[in-house]
Amino acid sequence: MMYFDNGATTWPKPPSVIKAVNDALISCGNPGRGGHILGRNAEKILYDCRVEAAQLFGMEDETRVVFTNNATQALNIAIKSTMKNGGHVVTGGYEHNSVLRPLSAMENVSFDVAHSRLFDEDDAFEKIVSKVTTDTKCIVLNHVSNVFGNELPIYRIDDFCHKNGIKLILDVSQSAGSEPINARDFKAVSFMCMPGHKGLYGPSGTGILLCCKEEKLYTITEGGTGSNSEEITQPDFLPDIFESGTANFTGIAGLLEGIRFVRGRQEEISRHKQNLIRLFTENLDGTDKIKIYHSDKQKSLVSISAGEKNNALFDMLCAEKICVRSGLHCAVAAHKSAGTERHGTIRISFSAFNSEDEVKRLVNILKKCSKTL
């Protein structure tokens, strides 16, 4: 089997991640719910992971690192907390449904999607700015598309938001862990949202919300936090305000080791994946009946398409025990921007564990498959 679906979940995980999850199941109780040794063991895992995440992403205060179940929950918290009192939002044209569906669900919020040409950062910037109105309170922007790997102009948008008093929420689901991201480099970013199970190499059921600004916060879930238990109102301080219920401390134990695995390696991982993209596209280019969506600045993944034969090609790859993803990838906005909404794409997404030999084998199999389409 060859695994190229790392844009959904990285596989395999580093051995240290697997060991940490197993050890936590053996040695941990409920964090924040008791002063005994098993509870303290779990509390230490949560604290250590906050510190490691804060250091990885340039956060000065580890209490502003909030653990979530995934990037979807982090985005819901960020969007619904920011837009609780209503207003207008602008999103980029390559957003995930984890952005568009929460916005659609809020009755007092209006939003516009700024569709732009694929791999054109200048056009993306201009289209986003053109959608801003006097009522715009927030821009939500995907750093790297989960469909095409194109990078959006987050630093230019951050500067624009800072100058115009607009809040910026960043979805870094496809870049966290493999691209250097430092919260101190931004002026308008209020939240950054990411999963733990992709580029951070942690287990599923983990995610991180970075709360980058001092501002009033609103919850979407209330409950037990292990703090202020004498009060029936939710604590108003971080991270407790957003962390109700028992934490996924076994998953966070694995996430801690995943973060340790990528710390200091982001540039190396990025170069490795870009090299695999280059190798893949250069060797597949010109193959009959398969279109490649590619740019020199592409990050982590590449989409291909055989048009109406996508499903047939996907089935052939599955028969060869190759794991990829086919369809719309929960990001119909990206396909509308790129003009691929009718048939979607087949996504090839890489990790630190993929090799050049695997990529060459994949190309050879695709060339063989294309002859039968």
Token look-up 């995930």 returns 96
The pTM of the full predicted model, rounded to 2 decimals, is 0.96
DSSP state at residue 364: H
Report how far apart the first and last C-alpha atoms of the chain are (Å, whole number): 22
pLDDT at 286: 85
State pLDDT tens for residues 243-302: 999 999 999 999 999 999 999 999 999 999 999 999 999 999 888 899 999 999 899 999
Residue 35: pLDDT band (50, 70, 90) is confident
Instruction: Provide the pairing of β-strand 301-305 with 291-293.
Output: antiparallel
Residue 42: pLDDT band (50, 70, 90) is very high
* Section 52-77 average pLDDT: 97
Contact 91, 114 (CB under 8 A): yes
Quick one: what percent of the chain has pLDDT higher than 90?
Answer: 96
Q: How far apart are CA 311 and CA 262, in angstroms?
A: 35
Q: What is the DSSP string of 197-248?
A: SSTT---TT-EEEEE-S------S-----SSSTT-SSPP-STTGGG--S---
Architecture of domain 15-262: 3-Layer(aba) Sandwich (3.40)
Neighbours of 25 (CB within 10 A): 11
Report domain extents, the chain: 2-10+265-370, 15-262
State pLDDT tens for residues 170-217: 999 999 999 999 999 999 999 999 999 999 999 999 999 999 999 899
**Secondary structure class of 310 (helix, strand, coil):** helix
Fold of 2-10+265-370: Aspartate Aminotransferase, domain 1 (3.90.1150)
Neighbours of 363 (CB within 10 A): 18
What the block records as the tokens of 210 is 């970075």
What the block records as the tokens of 124 is 């993306």
User: Across-strand partners of 176?
Assistant: 179
Give the largest CA-CA distance in the chain: 70
Quick one: what percent of the chain has pLDDT higher than 70?
Answer: 100
Residue 326: pLDDT band (50, 70, 90) is very high
Q: Is residue 33's pLDDT more than 90? A: no
